[in-house]
A and B are shown apart, each in its own frame.
Chain A
Amino acid sequence: MTHIKRLSKLAAVILAAVIVGGLINFALVPVMYEHWAQHDRNGYSDRIDTLIVGDSLTMYSVQPSLLDKNAKCFSFNSATAAQFLDESYYLIKDFIAREHIKTVYLGLDYYRFYNVEANDENGLSDIILKRLNDPGVKAEYLREKFKPDDIFDLLFRSRVYSDKITQAASNVKTKLSYEYRHYLPLNEESSYYDRGFVLTYRNEPETEEHDIDLANLRTAEFDMLKKTVELCAANGVKLNVFHTPMKYARMDSIKNYGVFLNAMLEMSESCGFRYCDFNYYRGRGGLSDDTCFINSSHLNGRGSEIFMDWFCKAFTASDEECGGLFDYPTG
C-alpha cells in the first residue's frame, strides 16, 4: 500500500513536471516557419517534384509559385535559416525518399566556405530534424549528429530560447491565434508565404561590419557538395547550384570572392552541375541596393520578384544561353 501511495505521488509530480515543461515550451519556443512549412509539405506531398534548399539567402529569395510557372514543375522551398550544406544534403535525401524529386536547386552561401571556427559548430538542428519525414533519413541524421547533451535541447526546447523570455506573451498570443492554428499567413513584417518561401518587404540598413577573406576555403564544404552531387546523380535528380545576389557594398567587403567563384565554376564543370552566381548577372543593375534588400545579403520581396525572373531564365536556358547571361570576371 505504501509503495502504491509513493508511486502515485511520484507519478503526480512527474505528470505535473511534464505539464509545466509543455507550458514553458509553448510560451518560450518562438513561432517558427516550420509550423507552416511542414503543413504545406505534407499537404502537397504527392505533387512536389522540385526541391529548393539552402539557408536564409534562399529562403527569402526563391518563390516556388514563380518558379513553377516558368519551369513547369511543382516546387517546394525547404531552405531554413543558417542551413549548413550537410543539412541540405539530408533534406535532399529525405525529399528523394518521400517525394518524386526530379530537380534540386541548391542555394549556397559564400560564408559557409569561409574558413572560420564558427563554421565547425554544426551540431544537431531540431529544425532540420522536424523537416525530415523519412524515418531512415532521420535515423541517419541522428546517428551523424546526435550527442548525448542534445537530449536536453530536444526534450526541452525552451532552454535554447531562454534569452527571449520577454517574448513569451507575444508567442502565446500568436500560437493561440486563429491564423496560426489554421496555418494562415500572419499579418507580420516577415511572414510565411507559400511552400517554404518567406515574404518580407523589410529594408534595413546593414550595420554589421563585414571583413572576411575567402583566400583559404573550407575543404569540408566542397566534400559535402561532392557528396550531394553523387546523391543526386545516383537518384537521377538534376542538380542546379546558385548564389543569390548581394549588395555591391557587401561584395566589395569580401576579399578574394573570386577564389570562391572560380572554385565553384571549376567544380560545376568537373561534376556536371550548373552553377549560377547571380552577383555577376548581366542585368544586375536592375536590382536596386536601396529598395530590393532586407540587409546587405538578403533579398526582400521586391528583390525576390526581380531575382526570380533571372533565376528562371538562367536555369531554363541552354548551357550556351546561360553562359551569356553572366559576366564572370576572368582570371
Chain B
Amino acid sequence: MTVFTSAGFIILFVLLMIVYFVVPKKAQTPILLAFSYGFYFMVSRKLPVYMLITTAVTYLSALLLQRITDGQKTYLDDKKAELTGDEKKEIKRKFEKRRKLVLVIGLVINFSFLAFFKYTDFLLDNACSLLANLGLNVEHQALNLVLPLGISFYTFQSTGYMIDVYRKKVAAERNLPKLALFVSYFPQIIEGPIGRFDRLASQFDQKHSFSFDRLKKGICLILWGCVKKLIIADNLAPLVNGISENYSQFGGSQILIGMLFYGIQLYADFSGYMDMASGYSKILGIEIAENFRRPYFSTSLAEFWRRWHISLCSWFKDYLFYPVFMSKGLMKLGKKLRAKGHREAAKNVPTFISMAVVWFLTGLWHGACWPEIVWGFSNGLIMIFSLQFAKAYDGVNKALRIKTDSAVWKCFRIVRTYLLVTLLNFICTFATFRDSLSAFAIMIKNPVPAYLSVSYLFPGIIDRGIVTLAVTLLACLTLFFVSLYEEKKNVLLYEAIMKKSWIVQGLVFILLLFFVLVFAVGGENGLSGGFMYAQF
C-alpha cells in the first residue's frame, strides 16, 4: 500500500478532518503542523531532525534578513537629509553585503544536509577514481547514507522562501508554527510539489470551514490518483523493471515497448501521487501548486519541461537560471560580445550557459550518478540546439511547405517529443552507460517483434494474469482520453464532472471507487511499491 491509500492514513485523515474543521481558526495551523510531523514520522519511521534544523535555519535566516532590510530602511529614512547620494549608495552596499552573507550562510547550511546525504558517496567514488587514474590508490567504503525522506523537496522549498525574503518578494514570517508548517506540510513532503511561500503559507492564515463541494472534488482527485498510481504505474512496474534489470534476456521490440511504457509508468506514478496530495489538501481547503499539465501533449522538449514537474522547473528557473543569467560574469560576456558586433551571440551565449548550468544541476538533483547528470545535460543540449536552430527549422518547414498549424503536424510533433523523452530515458533507466548502450543496440537491431503473442509483448504484467493486463491497458487508454479531453477543452475533467448532476457525479464516484478497489495492486496480487519520486 502506498501511504496515501493505506487504511491507517485514511482513518487518521478522517480524524484530522473532524478536529480541523471543529477547532477555531487559530488552532488549525498547529493541528496541521502536528499532523504533518506525525505523518512524517509514520512514513519515514524516523524523527524529522533534519527537517527541524532546516526549519530553524530558514526561520532565523529569514528573520535576520528582514531585520537587516528593515534596519537599512530605518537608517536611510532617519538620515535621509544628512546623506549624499554616494553615501546612501555606500550604506546600501554595506547592508546588501550583510544580507548576502546571511543568505549564503543559510543556503550553505540547508544545502549541506542535502549534499551530505545525497552526494557524499558519489563525490568520494569519483575522487577515488580520479586519484586512481593519477596512480594513487585510495580505498573508501561506501557510506550508503539513507536519504531523509523528502529532503530535496523541503530543502528547495525552504531555500526558495529564503531567497524570496532576500529579494524582498515576501516578508519574513515571524510565526514559527506557520513557517514550520510551510516546510513540512504533509501532502507535499514526500514528492512535492515544491511550494512557494506567498501562495501556500498565505492559505494557512485563512479560516477553513468544511465544504461539501471541496470534499467531492478532493475524493474524486484521490480516486483518480489511485487509478494512475495503483492500476497503471504499479501494474506496469514488473514490465519496466524486468526489462531495465535484465535487458539482455529480452528482444529489441520488448525493450522498445518497455521503454515506451516507462514514460507512462513514471507519469502515472508521479502525477498519481500529485492528484492524491492535491485531493487531500483540497479537502482541507488548501490548494497546492500544479505539478503536471498533460506533459505528453507537448510539441517540444522545452514545452515538455514546462508541463512536467512544473514546481521543480519553475524553481530552477527562478532561483538558478535567472541568477546565473544575470550574474556579473555573464552580463560582462554579453556586453563584450555585443561590443564586438555579435548581437545574436550576445543574447544566446549567456542563455545557453545558464541553461547548461541549470540542466547539469537538474540531472544531479535527479540522482547522484553520472547517467543522471548526462541525462540532465542532454536535455539541456537538445533545448539549446532547438533554440539555436529554430530559424533554420522554420526555413526547412517553409521550403517543404509544411502546414505547421495543421493537426497532423501537431500530432507528429507530439509523437516526436514523446519519442525524444523516451530516448533520453534510455540514459538513466539502466544500471550503467554500457547497459544503456547495449539495450539501445538490441532495440535497434531487432525492433520487429519475434512473436505477436501477448506474453511476448507484455512480459512481467502477463504474469499477473490476462485480466490485469487488460485492465492496465484499459486504464492507460482512459488516461489518454481524459488527458485529450482536458487538453482540448482546457479544463480538468473532474471540475467538469462536478458541474454535472448529482447522479452523474455519484456514478463517476462509484465507478472510480470500485475500479480502484477491485483492480488496484494489492491483496493476492502483491503489494504496491512506494512512489518512484519519493527517493529524492
Residue positions of A touching B, CB distance < 8 A = 6, 9, 12-13, 16-17, 20-21, 24, 28, 148-153, 156, 158-166
Q: Kindly state the separation between the CA atoms of A139 and B467 in the bound complex, as whole angstroms.
A: 36
Residue positions of B touching A, CB distance < 8 A = 1, 6-8, 11, 212, 464-468, 471, 502, 505-506, 509-510, 513-514, 517-520, 522-525
Q: Kindly state the separation between the CA atoms of A165 and B210 in the bound complex, as whole angstroms.
A: 39
| Nearest neighbor of A163 in chain B, beta-carbon distance | B465
Across the interface, do B506 and A160 meet the contact criterion of CB distance under 8 Å?
Answer: no
Q: Which residues of B contact A164 (CB under 8 A)?
A: 467
Query: What's the minimum C-beta distance from B457 to chain A, rounded to whole angstroms?
Result: 19
Q: Kindly state the separation between the CA atoms of A152 and B513 in the bound complex, as whole angstroms.
A: 12
Across the interface, do B1 and A149 meet the contact criterion of CB distance under 8 Å?
Answer: yes
Across the interface, do A152 and B8 meet the contact criterion of CB distance under 8 Å?
Answer: no
Query: What's the minimum C-beta distance from B5 to chain A, rounded to whole angstroms?
Result: 9
Query: What's the minimum C-beta distance from B468 to chain A, rounded to whole angstroms?
Result: 6
Across the interface, do B502 and A16 meet the contact criterion of CB distance under 8 Å?
Answer: no
Q: Kindly state the separation between the CA atoms of A114 and B517 in the bound complex, as whole angstroms.
A: 34
Across the interface, do A163 and B468 meet the contact criterion of CB distance under 8 Å?
Answer: yes
Name A160's contact: one of B11, B502, B523 (CB within 8 Å). B523
**Pairs of residues from A and B, 3 with the lowest C-beta to C-beta distance, nearest first:** A13-B506, A148-B7, A148-B8
Across the interface, do B467 and A165 meet the contact criterion of CB distance under 8 Å?
Answer: yes
Interface of B, helix, strand, loop or mixed by DSSP:
helix
Name A151's contact: one of B7, B464, B468 (CB within 8 Å). B7
Q: Kindly state the separation between the CA atoms of A148 and B518 in the bound complex, as whole angstroms.
A: 18
Known contacts A162-B519, A163-B468: A12-B506 contact under CB 8 Å: yes
Given contacts A149-B8, A161-B524, A162-B471, 14 further A-B contacts (CB under 8 A): A9-B502, A17-B509, A20-B510, A28-B518, A148-B8, A149-B1, A149-B522, A150-B7, A152-B517, A158-B517, A159-B517, A163-B467, A163-B524, A165-B518
Across the interface, do A148 and B6 meet the contact criterion of CB distance under 8 Å?
Answer: yes
Query: What's the minimum C-beta distance from A228 to chain B, rounded to whole angstroms?
Result: 27
Query: What's the minimum C-beta distance from B24 to chain A, rounded to whole angstroms?
Result: 23
Query: What's the minimum C-beta distance from A18 to chain B, rounded to whole angstroms?
Result: 10
Q: Which residues of B contact A166 (CB under 8 A)?
A: 466-467
Q: Which residues of B contact A24 (CB under 8 A)?
A: 514, 518
Across the interface, do A17 and B510 meet the contact criterion of CB distance under 8 Å?
Answer: yes
Q: Kindly state the separation between the CA atoms of A165 and B509 in the bound complex, as whole angstroms.
A: 21
Across the interface, do B518 and A162 meet the contact criterion of CB distance under 8 Å?
Answer: yes
Across the interface, do B465 and A159 meet the contact criterion of CB distance under 8 Å?
Answer: no
Q: Kindly state the separation between the CA atoms of A148 and B506 in the bound complex, as whole angstroms.
A: 27
Name A163's contact: one of B7, B510, B525 (CB within 8 Å). B525
Across the interface, do B467 and A162 meet the contact criterion of CB distance under 8 Å?
Answer: yes
Across the interface, do A148 and B11 meet the contact criterion of CB distance under 8 Å?
Answer: yes
| Interchain Cβ contacts under 8 Å between A and B, 8 examples | A9-B502, A20-B514, A21-B517, A28-B518, A148-B6, A151-B7, A152-B517, A162-B525
Across the interface, do A9 and B523 meet the contact criterion of CB distance under 8 Å?
Answer: no
Q: Kindly state the separation between the CA atoms of A153 and B518 in the bound complex, as whole angstroms.
A: 10
| Nearest neighbor of A158 in chain B, beta-carbon distance | B518
Q: Kindly state the separation between the CA atoms of A21 and B467 in the bound complex, as whole angstroms.
A: 19
Q: Kindly state the separation between the CA atoms of A28 and B7 in the bound complex, as whole angstroms.
A: 22
Q: Which of A151, A163, A166 has the most CB of B within 10 A?
A: A163
Query: What's the minimum C-beta distance from A81 to chain B, rounded to whole angstroms?
Result: 13
Known contacts A148-B6, A149-B1, A152-B7: A13-B509 contact under CB 8 Å: yes
Query: What's the minimum C-beta distance from A152 to chain B, rounded to whole angstroms?
Result: 6
| Nearest neighbor of B523 in chain A, beta-carbon distance | A160
Across the interface, do A156 and B517 meet the contact criterion of CB distance under 8 Å?
Answer: yes
Query: What's the minimum C-beta distance from A53 to chain B, rounded to whole angstroms?
Result: 23
Known contacts A9-B506, A13-B510: A159-B464 contact under CB 8 Å: no
Q: Kindly state the separation between the CA atoms of A166 and B468 in the bound complex, as whole angstroms.
A: 11
Q: Kindly state the separation between the CA atoms of A149 and B499 in the bound complex, as whole angstroms.
A: 33
